[in-house]
Amino acid sequence: MSAYQREVQIALEAVTSAAVLCQNVRQGDDFVALAKSDKSPVTVADFGSQAIVCRAIRAAFPRDLIIAEENADALRTEDQAPLLARVVAEVKKVVPSADEAQALAWIDAGISRDAAPRVWTLDPIDGTKGFLRGGQYAVALALIIDGQIEVAALACPALDDEGSIFWAVRGVGAFQRTAAGDKPIEVTSTSNSAKAALCESVESGHSDHDQSAKIAAALQIARPSVRMDSQAKYAAVARGDADIYLRLPTIAGYQEKIWDHAAGALVIAEAGGKVTDIDGQPLDFSLGSMLKNNRGVVATNGRLHDAVIAAIAKA
Ligand SMILES: Nc1ncnc2c1ncn2[C@@H]1O[C@H](COP(=O)(O)O)[C@@H](OP(=O)(O)O)[C@H]1O
Ligand SMILES: [Mg+2]
């Protein structure tokens, strides 16, 4: 029996159910987007997805903590009653016995922020802007033990024809789940940067596009960069669709959130790639909800990593 078999099974079932909820919402005509205090959007599907995944983790691993992106505060205000009703209705489509109090409690099961010996981190919808505009998005879940990511489950419901699901266990490998079973995935073997494919955020506010163009030029990358939302970028590098993922800070001092990176980072590492910050330092997932010790993210197939970090240092 391989390590963390039960965790993988529960995590994959959870992100798969959450992906169904997200697709149900996206196929409807009313996402009811709300702006959070940081002005980023949140939808019925963000709340619903978080309820579904936290419910599953709580039931299977009641002692584990969960650091998830959302909380239910906004849903408890009187003027958001219609939004809450929609969230509960969507959750009930996946868990018919659910009621309002349970849905709120499941969402709030994800409000931990501090490090713990065993903690899950969840982005119920990574790439909410992509979700809203019909682009890529992901349901990203990872288990961090003593500061190290051990298990990752990443659903990309808008990738490929019917959506794709990826998972990884440290030391075991990275896989794409298909109807025919789990298929190991691998990064490319490109070592000539001129032949590399680079991907980055659609949002120029999330990653500096001008700076990445300069770095691509320095690396003599000929192809235009592929812009996609969410941790689908990590999946793209992990299975060899792209060679490099750059996330270059746009705001001095911006701290990346662990839920935006944990699942994707393990999937790439186990597919043979490398993930660091823009200074070439490993991402430090031992500090609670934020990557306090890191700036930006660089993910590559491994072979290109040093060249990319050198090009960033020069730029
Ligand atoms: N100034 C900034 N720099 C980097 N990332 C940012 C950012 N502002 C928001 N983000 C994060 O970028 C994520 C989306 O990344 P991407 O551009 O790769 O799709 C958002 O996740 P959510 O969509 O879960 O809110 C949010 O956490
Ligand atoms: Mg999110």
Compute CA distances 185 → 154, 170, 239, 272, 310, whole Å: 13, 14, 5, 9, 27
> Does position 177 have pLDDT exceeding 80, yes or no?
yes
Return the beta strands (E) in the chain as ranges.
34-35, 41-42, 65-68, 118-126, 138-145, 148-156, 164-169, 173-178, 181-184, 198-200, 226-227, 244-247, 274-276, 297-300
Task: Tell me the pLDDT tens digit for each residue of 88-145.
Answer: 999 999 999 999 999 999 999 999 999 999 999 999 999 999 999 999 999 999 999 9
Read off the pLDDT of residues 287-297 as tens digits, 9 standing for 90 and up: 999 999 999 99
Residue 260 has pLDDT above 90, yes or no: yes
pLDDT the model gives residue 40: 83
Ligand 1 midpoint to CA 39 (Å) = 12
Residue 312 has pLDDT above 60, yes or no: yes
Q: What is the pLDDT of residue 28?
A: 87
CATH architecture of the region 5-184: 2-Layer Sandwich (3.30)
Domain with CATH 3.30.540.10 in the chain: 5-184
Choose, from 46, 108, 229, 277, the residue flagged as catalytic.
46
The predicted structure's pLDDT at residue 1: 53
Q: Is 46 a catalytic residue?
A: yes
Q: List, by residue range, all CATH 3.40.190.80 domains of the chain.
A: 193-314
- The predicted complex's ipTM stands at 0.98
pLDDT at 37: 79
Which tokens is 99 given?
A: 């009621």
pLDDT for residue 29: 75
Mean pLDDT for the stretch of residues 245-270? 98
* Percent of the chain at pLDDT exceeding 90: 92
Q: 90: CA distance to ligand 2 center in Å?
A: 17
pLDDT tops 90 at residue 31? no
Query: What fold is seen in the domain 193-314?
Result: D-Maltodextrin-Binding Protein; domain 2 (3.40.190)
Q: Among this protein's residues, is 128 annotated catalytic?
A: yes
Indicate the average pLDDT of the chain: 96
Active-site position among 43, 121, 128, 300: 128
- The arithmetic mean of pLDDT across residues 233-258, rounded, is 97
Interval between CA 206 and ligand 1 midpoint (Å) = 5
Query: What confidence tens digit (pLDDT) does each residue in 36-75 have?
Result: 778 788 999 999 999 999 999 999 999 999 999 999 999 9
Give the bridge partners for 151, in sequence order.
143, 169
Ligand nearest to the CA of 22: 2
Rounded to whole angstroms, how far apart are CA atoms 115 and 124? Answer: 19
